[in-house]
Amino acid sequence: CREVAEQLRSGVTSISSTASAFAALKDTGAVVTWGDAEKGGRMEVTWGPPTDEEECSDDGCHEDGESEDHGETYSVEDRLSSGVLAVVGSDNVFAALKDTGEVVAWGCAPDGAHLKEDVKRKLSEGAPIKSISAATTTFAALKEDGRVVPWGVIADFGNGFLLDKVEDQLTDVVSVPNMPTENVWGMFAIKKTGEVVPIGTIANPPDHIIEDE
């Protein structure tokens, strides 16, 4: 729309995307979004109509049957008007890191836009957040002490890895690269020793990771 176009005329420092929405970060620390509202085009956490299909699909944002109860759509626009340092996007969700250390997410609620209380606690306690990363349906915050806080859809299919299998290994991490490839639902953490630790569903993890399975 015209309002978005005007905001994009100057001051944009980076652009991120989900499957069908975009987010521009400006030098003022404000975020400008456009595209599919349910996938981050509007700065809201959306649940969409609950259905028997337990996924966020191209037809709309649907609640996962194993997630929290269906909730109300709510806005995060006021929290994205200033102080944002970085924005990353998964398939259906954006997440922003603010200069206060706060993480703000929006888009499809079950895919990580709605932060559960235990995730909020882990993000806020302890060392400050150094960076945030995204894969297709998973996010990870790397803290300055080398610990990692993942959230989103962390599933276990085939050779995938549930978080509780690797959570105690997510220390002394130096990097969690973005994984934008659509067939990667999880992420990899790289430790100070050079060891690789999978987070979430990884279709083909390295042999040394699955040898004990």
**Angle (CA) 51 57 63, round 5°:** 40
pLDDT of residue 202: 61
What is the residue whose two structure tokens read 């980076």?
14
**What per-residue confidence (pLDDT) applies to 68?**
43
SS3 138: strand
CA distance 129 to 72: 28
Task: Give the pLDDT score at 206.
Answer: 54
Of 94, 96, 52, give the one whose Cα is nearest residue 70.
Answer: 52
User: Block means of pLDDT (10 residues each) for the chain, length 213 residues?
Assistant: 91 96 98 95 82 46 44 92 97 96 96 92 96 92 95 58 71 91 76 90 56 49
For residue 49, the model assigns a pLDDT of: 54
Which segments of the chain are extended strands (E)? 12-17, 21-26, 31-35, 44-46, 74-75, 84-89, 93-98, 103-108, 129-134, 138-143, 148-152, 173-175, 187-191, 196-199
pLDDT at 122: 94
Instruction: Supply the Cα-derived Rg of the chain in whole angstroms.
Output: 17
CB neighbourhood size of 28 (10 A):
12
Contacts for 175 with CB less than 8 Å, ≥ 6 apart: 142, 189, 190
Q: What are phi and psi of 87, to 5 degrees?
A: -135, 135
Q: Output the pLDDT for position 40.
A: 96
pTM (two decimals): 0.83
3-state helix, strand, coil in the chain (%, to 5): 15, 35, 50
Q: Which residue in this structure is represented by tokens 């400050």? A: 128
